[in-house]
Amino acid sequence: MTKIYYAFLVVVNRLFHSLKLQHKLDKLAYQRVINKYKSQGASIGENTIIIDTKFSSSSKGDRFFIGNNCTITGATLLGHDASPTLFIDELIIYKESYRKGSRRSYRSPIIIGNNVFIGWGSIILPGVNVGDNCVIGAGSVVSKNIPDGMVAAGNPAKVIKPTSEYVESYRIRLHETPEKF
**Residues labelled as active-site residues:** 80
In contact, 134 and 126? CB cutoff 8 Å: no
In contact, 100 and 75? CB cutoff 8 Å: no
Please give the DSSP secondary-structure letter assigned to residue 52.
S
Query: How many C-beta neighbours within 10 Å does residue 172 have?
Result: 10
Closest residue by Cα to residue 146 from 107, 108, 117, 106: 117
One-letter amino acid at 144 equals K
Q: What angle (nearest 5°) sits at the alpha carbon of residue 122, between those of residues 70 and 97?
A: 115
In contact, 104 and 87? CB cutoff 8 Å: no
In contact, 82 and 101? CB cutoff 8 Å: no
